[in-house]
Chains A and B, each alone.
Chain A
Amino acid sequence: MLIIGEKLSIIAKRVREAMLKRDKGPIQEIAKAQWNAGARMIDANIGPAEDEGEELMQWMVRAVQEAVPSPVCLDTTNSKAIEAGLKAHDNQWGRPLINSTSNDPERFPILELAAKYNCQVIGLTVGKGGLPADAEERCAIAAEIMARAMEYGVPLEDLYLDPLVLQIATSQDHALHVIKAIKMFQELNDPPMKTVVGLSNISNGCPKHVRPIINKHYFALLMYNGLTSAIADAAEMGEVAKTIDIIMGETLYAHSYLEM
């Protein structure tokens, strides 16, 4: 299970302020905490970043990689900012992951970048016309994204399919659609397609004390159904990931398995 540390998001006030002031301190502190908790990639979400996006993404990539020996997940809708981030990325600890392409024509150029810079890319299974209704629709979109990836020269091993986790408080039935989609995505290719979710979206809008409970249980169910990676808070998810790995036989049990 690859956990992509999610805490570096422009949505968080502390991170946003640090980004605006170009203050590396809080950014690096969060990156280190995620790394130490078991994240093996760090998500850098700078939002739409219409102004100064290129410079901001480069600054973020460098700040993260100065602090931890980790690849970075470049999370923005600004493709120029992504390209700038790819140029700044140090690949010695792994290739970067672009978040994301989709079935929206505006997001197709992202695949060109993925091919040009030989990096990995998330394919979010949404199109231009609103949200997918169920697992089957997610799969149909996934197949289109896969075909397009091959057309652009991105190997399917470098594509992570994201079924788009929705809020349980407003879209309860999608919780199961997403689990089913994770299962179905794997059958679209041999070897199975890699998958990723933005985990904490499931509990967005829920009371604060409930959120980690929903996140953890949902994560366990997704892992059981073959999820390969998640953008999530490593500190919150570490125990779940290690325990499910034990239950699934991915890691050999020892009494101190949580400490490893």
Chain B
Amino acid sequence: MPFTPPKESFSGKIFELSMGRGDKAVTIGGENVMPFHRFEGMSPSKPVVAFEVQDVPPEDWPDTVKEAFKDVSGDPAAWAAYCQDSLGAEAIALRLVGTHPDRGDIPAEQAAETVKKVLEAVKVPLIILGSNHAEKDTAVLVKAAEAAKGTGSVIGKAQEANYKTIAAAAMANDLKLIAMSELDINLSKQLNILITQMGFDKEKLITDPMCSALSYGLEYTYSVMERIKQAALAQNDAVLQPPMLADVGVYVWKVKETQAAEADLPEWGELAARGIAWEAVTASSFLISGADLLIMRHPDAVAAVRKYISEFSMEVR
């Protein structure tokens, strides 16, 4: 008698969300199964990795990842084009970190100009991120949203302190919106409710339940994400059915393991390989917990994760 593997099926389904414009638009979500369980139901799209690009040179990045972009990182448009044309990026995440009051305090209008230049330089979808300064982000992201009007771009992150302004800007300019809460599944649901109560279409939301690096609380973020996915699928909770984001690179490339020299810690092995592995392992963990979209930095780490995605997405016969 042939063996029939048991299948778990769910009543809920993740919303399909399309980012970008024209033939370079990319769709994430749409699955009604746990990650990579294609053999149990529908999983029409694969997780997407966006390359992180910044509006100012990445002076605070460790050498391993700074080195990879040294010829282009002085100009955000050239940097984005390099990721698209030479590294095959499916999406670009432009972080407007230079607008942070402690990082240069670049005015909103100037940040909007950068957004325009990057949009001209690439055809792949753009994810526009503020500097994570709740107050400054309201000014910056409103201007940035106007600059990206009608491009199908994603903007964020809307948080409890500033969601009204940012969600309104996303709505007015027909953009997708990232809603971020800090590592609390109930607050994550609450923020999605509040944003949809403003009239924002829940099918244009991306949930960011917050991220963390391997060995720096990954197990917490992992389990929050996993529980959101389970509530979305098993309990058919529509508020939790937007696709999820893991913003990996920013957390990974500031931990000791990606920066400590081999001379100081020879037992940790070669620094560059260690940092790349750290980012790839962190990112692939979040794929298993249910992320549909990743933001990453190092090309080799991205290549490893994309290989992982493609191998896990193969048809099982």
Q: Which residues of A contact B (CB under 8 A)?
A: 250-256, 259-260
Contact = CB atoms under 8 A, between A and B. Distances in A.
Given A254-B189, A254-B190, A259 B197 contact: yes
Contacts of A259: 193, 197
Given A250-B235, A260-B239, A255 B190 contact: yes
Contacts of B83: none
B237 interface: yes
A260 B186 contact: no
Nearest to A255: B190
A254 B194 CA distance: 10
Q: Which 7 A-B pairs have the closest CB atoms?
A: A254-B189, A254-B190, A256-B193, A252-B231, A255-B190, A253-B186, A254-B186
Nearest to A256: B193
B89 interface: no
B185 interface: yes
B22 to A, nearest CB: 36
Interface string B203-221: 0000000000000000000
Contacts of B187: 254
B235 A256 contact: no
Contacts, number: 30
B197 A256 contact: yes
Contacts of B185: 252
A252 B240 contact: yes
A254 B193 contact: yes
Contacts of A256: 190, 193-194, 197
Nearest to B228: A252
A251 B235 contact: yes
Contacts of A252: 185-186, 189, 227, 231, 235, 237, 240
Contacts of B194: 256
A259 B194 CA distance: 10
Interface string B174-199: 00000000000111011001100100
A254 B189 CA distance: 6
Nearest to B239: A260
A254 B193 CA distance: 8
Contacts of A253: 186, 189
19 contacts: A250-B235, A251-B231, A251-B235, A251-B237, A252-B235, A252-B237, A252-B240, A253-B186, A254-B187, A254-B189, A254-B190, A254-B193, A254-B239, A256-B190, A256-B193, A256-B194, A259-B193, A260-B193, A260-B239
Contacts of A251: 231, 235, 237
A254 B231 CA distance: 13
Given A252-B235, A252-B237, A254-B193, 4 more contacts: A252-B231, A254-B189, A256-B194, A260-B239
A237 to B, nearest CB: 20
A252 B232 CA distance: 10
Contacts of A254: 186-187, 189-190, 193, 239
Contacts of B189: 252-254
A260 B231 CA distance: 15
Contacts of B190: 254-256
Nearest to A249: B235
A167 to B, nearest CB: 35
B194 to A, nearest CB: 7
Nearest to A245: B235
B201 to A, nearest CB: 16
B166 to A, nearest CB: 19
A250 B231 CA distance: 9
Nearest to A252: B231
A255 B193 CA distance: 9
Nearest to B240: A252
B238 to A, nearest CB: 8
A260 B239 CA distance: 9
A251 B235 CA distance: 7
A255 B197 CA distance: 13
A256 B188 CA distance: 12
A251 to B, nearest CB: 6
B31 to A, nearest CB: 19
A251 B237 CA distance: 7
A249 to B, nearest CB: 9
Contacts of B186: 252-255
A102 B194 CA distance: 47
A208 to B, nearest CB: 34
A253 B231 CA distance: 11
A154 B197 CA distance: 43
A43 to B, nearest CB: 24
A166 B316 CA distance: 55
Nearest to B190: A254
Nearest to B236: A251
A253 B193 CA distance: 11
Q: Which of A250, A252, A256 has the most CB of B within 10 A?
A: A252
A254 B186 CA distance: 5
Nearest to B237: A252
Contacts of A250: 235
Q: Which of B187, B190, B240 has the most CB of A within 10 A?
A: B190
A79 B309 CA distance: 58
B287 to A, nearest CB: 22
Contacts of B240: 252
A150 to B, nearest CB: 25
